[in-house]
Amino acid sequence: MTEATRRDFLHGTSALSLLAAASVVTTAPAAETRPARKAYEYQHSPLPLPYASGSLKGLSQTLIQSHWENNYTGAVKALNTLRARLVHAASDADTPPYVYTGLKREQLLRTGSVVLHEIYFTGLGGDGKADAALRTKIAASFGSYDAWEAEFRKIALGIAGGSGWVMLGYNQSLQLLENYWMADHATAPANTTPLLVLDMYEHAFAMDYGAAAARYVDAYFANIRWDAVSRRLEASA
Amino acid sequence: MTEATRRDFLHGTSALSLLAAASVVTTAPAAETRPARKAYEYQHSPLPLPYASGSLKGLSQTLIQSHWENNYTGAVKALNTLRARLVHAASDADTPPYVYTGLKREQLLRTGSVVLHEIYFTGLGGDGKADAALRTKIAASFGSYDAWEAEFRKIALGIAGGSGWVMLGYNQSLQLLENYWMADHATAPANTTPLLVLDMYEHAFAMDYGAAAARYVDAYFANIRWDAVSRRLEASA
Amino acid sequence: MTEATRRDFLHGTSALSLLAAASVVTTAPAAETRPARKAYEYQHSPLPLPYASGSLKGLSQTLIQSHWENNYTGAVKALNTLRARLVHAASDADTPPYVYTGLKREQLLRTGSVVLHEIYFTGLGGDGKADAALRTKIAASFGSYDAWEAEFRKIALGIAGGSGWVMLGYNQSLQLLENYWMADHATAPANTTPLLVLDMYEHAFAMDYGAAAARYVDAYFANIRWDAVSRRLEASA
Amino acid sequence: MTEATRRDFLHGTSALSLLAAASVVTTAPAAETRPARKAYEYQHSPLPLPYASGSLKGLSQTLIQSHWENNYTGAVKALNTLRARLVHAASDADTPPYVYTGLKREQLLRTGSVVLHEIYFTGLGGDGKADAALRTKIAASFGSYDAWEAEFRKIALGIAGGSGWVMLGYNQSLQLLENYWMADHATAPANTTPLLVLDMYEHAFAMDYGAAAARYVDAYFANIRWDAVSRRLEASA
């Protein structure tokens, strides 16, 4: 794996576009020029799904299309609008800090939504089968692959009926592969690279499964693109 | 910078021990064997402060010692205890998912506390002066270095009287250097490398400054170890 | 209104059963013997819907039935189970406080879900028309009835796509009729009597409306049982 | 107890002023005219402490004065400012709902802070001794008075080092006297009358006790004004 490719997979957005068009030559800027993007002016562009919205098993085109368009794209738009609001509030000396943090909270919530949705959609489109090398790595951390899957599913069902995310992540500080419970888009383990995330907000399944969250989790597992998880792990750990 | 050193700074824990004893030969395991740590059995050891607890400017030895010992070390102990509880709960078929997630929430809260406190303490012990190269990078993202500092401080004051963290982080998905508001140890931007974090829980300053949070933030700025920030940015972006 | 009836409407659960069977003679215990219920042993019984699940306008029987059965009744069951867990944890000297609070958080979440869902379902089944006296009271607080409705709807749309509740409540401490944003079942204004609550968790509408939350809010408004709101206000303020 | 007095104790603010000047003739408006206050224009006035700030046992004048002045009065000021911001945002058609809810979240946080701090300060100034009648009522709910106190203290210690509140409250829907864990000012059990609240934000004790939260809880218990709790229970249940 070249350094450029490695860096691309480290970044969720690049990974997504790469998966969408695998033959495209990457044009990532050289490391020394980063970060060049403007924190305040930056406007994010929604990334297209890296597969046809009707191509997943057990997750309808209507659901995936609505999820991508209304929830993910909606979060992108809100985030872009919030930046303009933040610029205005920051330049207004009359804005009290606690009004400013109200905006920052909304920014964090939408940032999490954008980032997590991109990793979620990137993690689907596969056959649900983890290769032996990855299963071995997961087993090394969790005792067995099945123990990992059991905990991941248990967290999902504990959230079901409410909202939140489940994450398999590599905690860079603790140097641990762990599963995390996340209450909403703004909850996350600090300094952790997400490898696989499961959206448990009801917009991710209610249209297809109503309240039958366990069946949605089955469908999710059947569509995991494990090679994306492997590459993210390889790039991060 | 060698690959081994670079990797060490990417990981907060290694960075902290490295700062504490800069002449120690690193013995990080080779990349291909990671992650070898067991997610469930792992017991974290508190990392010593990389400087004398009485050596910071405007932050008393009593405060720093209590912060390190009671809050940081307390979180380490709680996290270690929670792992044993999680192992027990996971192996008990009668544990409902929503009881399990109660434990996972506490685990996430303590994990965040451990990770963020280690980055916080690592980020202190300096002279508060960012070098020109880093100031240029920050200015490239925020318009100017002063604009960055103004927002960072405004977020801190918006939290003051409550609790939470301020983070300057590199968002790996958005490829942006940004400031983030965080409500508690479990709030964080997903897929983001923390470069500099400011503890706004009242245990970080009330003993010295009472409710005068702005004066604490001044003291914090005077002690920032900016070379640690530079290395973390270099390793992550 | 007799004192006994007044007291019944003060209590959400009694109000619900009363609405379901208005001719039933109330048998509330005398005030001096209250509270007689055991905090730890108490087991809540799900209250039936006070109308046929298929009788609401623009909210399907499938949706209402699933909402009542899976989400509301599910919360009742979880809450009942959590009490037994709490009794066990409280009697076990080895339970650390931060493990106990993990359970208390889940208890609070399910308590909020039970209480709010009962007020939500009680508040539906009407014709959506507030009488003149109530409109006048609302206008006295909010400037106009339309200003109240506009804010209530704006909060709902700010939550849409995530989860939470909107509450029109009477704040007993501030003596104010106000609208409140609530992030989840555990978020609420302290010391406030809920008069009207709107469930914005996606399980309340996704089956019927997908991501079209504004259309769900329209349907909600068309079904409000305003006499229940009037009685709750009369009993509380 | 007259109806007017009863109503006064139902309302936290009136209770506080009543305790401060017990001989004052109450001038509460008649029930039929309430609520007359304007939700949007209302400006809250800080209530004075109902005792000398240096008169509590084991809680220093410096601490109590700072707590009242910086945290409670600060919340009042922030809440008043937020109302003006909300009026402006509501009248601006360009304000997206998710920007508006950012303000509503801040409003809820400050509302909770104001309400809970008033009940907290009202609940102190006593001799810490509950009379036999109240102990019997508490025992009827919790098995024994000691079981109640043990749980209340355990919740406090589970929060210690972070922030939040403990509440003994009467849940109007469940008709239960219960202890509740609260993560912050915006967390609360819905439809519940607070009887006794314990501030576990570190500003409530760090100046006097550093991280020794258990000693603060001892001091709190020694100062509880139980007759205020009795009156609140009598008025609410």
Between residues 21 and 60 of chain B, which touch chain A (CB distance below 8 Å)?
31, 34-40, 42, 44
Residues of B in contact with A17 (CB under 8 A): none
What letters, b where the CB count within 10 A reaches 16 and e where it falls short, cover D103-120?
bbbbbbbbbbbbbbbbbb
**Residue A76: pLDDT above 60?**
yes
Instruction: Inspect the interface and report whether the beta carbons of C173 and D119 lie closer than 8 Å.
Output: yes
**Three-class SS of residue D29?**
coil
pLDDT category of residue B37 using cuts at 50, 70 and 90: confident
CB contact under 8 A, C70 and A161: yes
pLDDT digits (tens, 9 = 90+) for B65-104: 999 999 999 999 999 999 999 999 999 989 999 999 999 9
Measured between CB atoms, does C15 come within 8 Å of chain B? no
Residue in chain A nearest C110 by alpha carbon: A162
Per-residue pLDDT at B11: 41
A231 has a chain C CB within 8 A of its CB: no
Which of B170, B191, B197 would best serve as a mutation to test chain A binding (most A beta carbons within 10 A)? B191
Residues 6+ apart with CB under 8 A from A18: A8, A9, A24, A26
pLDDT at B49 over 60: yes
Instruction: Give all chains having 3 or more CB-to-CB distances under 8 Å with chain D.
Output: A, B, C
Residues in chain C, total: 237
Q: What is the mean pLDDT of chain C?
A: 87
Q: Cβ contact (<8 Å) for D70 and B203?
A: no
Q: Does the pLDDT value for residue C89 go beyond 90?
A: yes
Is residue D197 classed as helix, strand or coil in its secondary structure? strand
CB contact under 8 A, A182 and B108: yes
Q: What is the pLDDT of residues C131-145, one digit of tens each?
A: 999 999 999 999 999
Which pLDDT value is given to residue B36?
A: 55
Subunits with 3+ C-beta pairs closer than 8 A to C: A, B, D
What pLDDT is attached to residue C86? 95
Q: Any alpha helices (H) in chain B, and if so which ranges? A: 3-10, 12-20, 61-66, 73-91, 97-122, 132-142, 145-159, 206-209, 213-222, 226-236
Task: Determine contact, residues D64/D56, Cβ cutoff 8 Å.
Answer: yes
Measured from the Cβ of residue D21, the count of other Cβ atoms closer than 10 Å reads 9
- D101 bridge partner residues: none
Q: Which of D86, D95, D99 to mutate to test the interface with A (most CBs of A within 10 A)?
A: D99
Residue B181 pairs in a beta bridge with: B166
Greater confidence (B197 vs A7) lies with: B197
ipTM for this prediction? 0.87
Cα–Cα distance for residue pair A140/A129, rounded to 1 Å: 18
Q: Is the pLDDT of residue B234 over 60?
A: yes
Interchain CB contacts (distance < 8 Å): A and D? 32
What value does the mean pLDDT take over residues A167-174?
97
pLDDT given for residue C236 in this prediction = 85
Is residue A61 less than 8 Å (CB to CB) from chain D?
A: no
Residues 6+ apart with CB under 8 A from C177: C137, C138, C141, C142, C168, C169, C170, C171, C195, C233, C237, D35, D37, D39
Q: Give, in degrees to the nearest 5, the angle at Cα D115 between D112 and D120.
A: 115
Token pair 């600090």: residue? A190
What pLDDT, on the 0 to 100 scale, is given for residue A37? 79
Residue C39 is predicted with a pLDDT of 87
Share in percent of chain A as helix, strand, coil (round to 5) = 55, 10, 35
Q: Which tokens is C190 given?
A: 């302290």
pLDDT per position as a tens digit, B161-201: 999 999 999 999 999 999 999 999 999 999 999 999 999 99
Using a CB-CB cut-off of 8 Å, the residues of chain C touching B85 are 99
Distance from CA of A93 to the nearest CA of D (A): 14
Instruction: Please check whether residue A88 touches D, CB under 8 A.
Output: no
Which residue of A lies nearest to B191 if distances are taken between CA atoms?
A193
Answer whether B163 sits within 8 Å of D163, measured CB to CB. yes
**CA end-to-end span of chain A:** 15
CB proximity C116 to D under 8 Å: yes
State the angle between helix axes of A12-20 and A97-122 in degrees (0 to 180), rounded to the nearest 10.
30
CB contact, 8 Å: A103 with chain D?
A: yes
Q: Minimal Cα distance from B212: which residue of D?
A: D70
In this complex, which of B71, B163, B211 lies closest to D70 when CB atoms are compared?
B211
Q: What is the pLDDT of residues B210-219, one digit of tens each?
A: 999 999 999 9
CB of C97 less than 8 A from some CB of B: no
Name every chain D residue with its beta carbon within 8 A of the beta carbon of C183: 105, 186
Q: Band the pLDDT of A236: cuts 50, 70, 90.
A: confident
Within an 8 Å CB–CB cutoff, is residue B163 touching chain A? no
Below-50 pLDDT ranges, chain D: 1-35
Find, in chain D, the residue whose alpha carbon is nearest to that of A83. D99
What are the pLDDT digits (tens) for B145-162? 999 999 999 999 999 999
Question: Given a cut of 80, is residue C43 above it in pLDDT?
Answer: yes
Confidence of residue C35 (pLDDT cuts 50, 70, 90): very low
Q: What domains does chain A contain, in order, with CATH numbers?
A: 1-38 (no CATH), 57-237 (3.55.40.20)
Q: Cα dist. D125→A90, D166, D223 in Å?
A: 43, 18, 5
Is some CB atom of chain B closer than 8 A to the CB atom of A79? no
- What confidence score (pLDDT) does residue B46 get? 98
Burial of B191: CB neighbours in 10 Å, binned 0-12, 13-18, 19+: buried
Q: What is the pLDDT of residue B75?
A: 98
Exposure of B236 in the CB half-sphere (CA atoms within 13 A)? 31
Q: Which residue has the higher pLDDT, A20 or A125?
A: A125
Q: Do C101 and B98 touch (CB under 8 A)?
A: no
Decide if A203 touches C, using CB distance below 8 A: yes
First CA to last CA across chain B, in angstroms? 15
Separation CA D91–CA C30 (nearest Å): 48
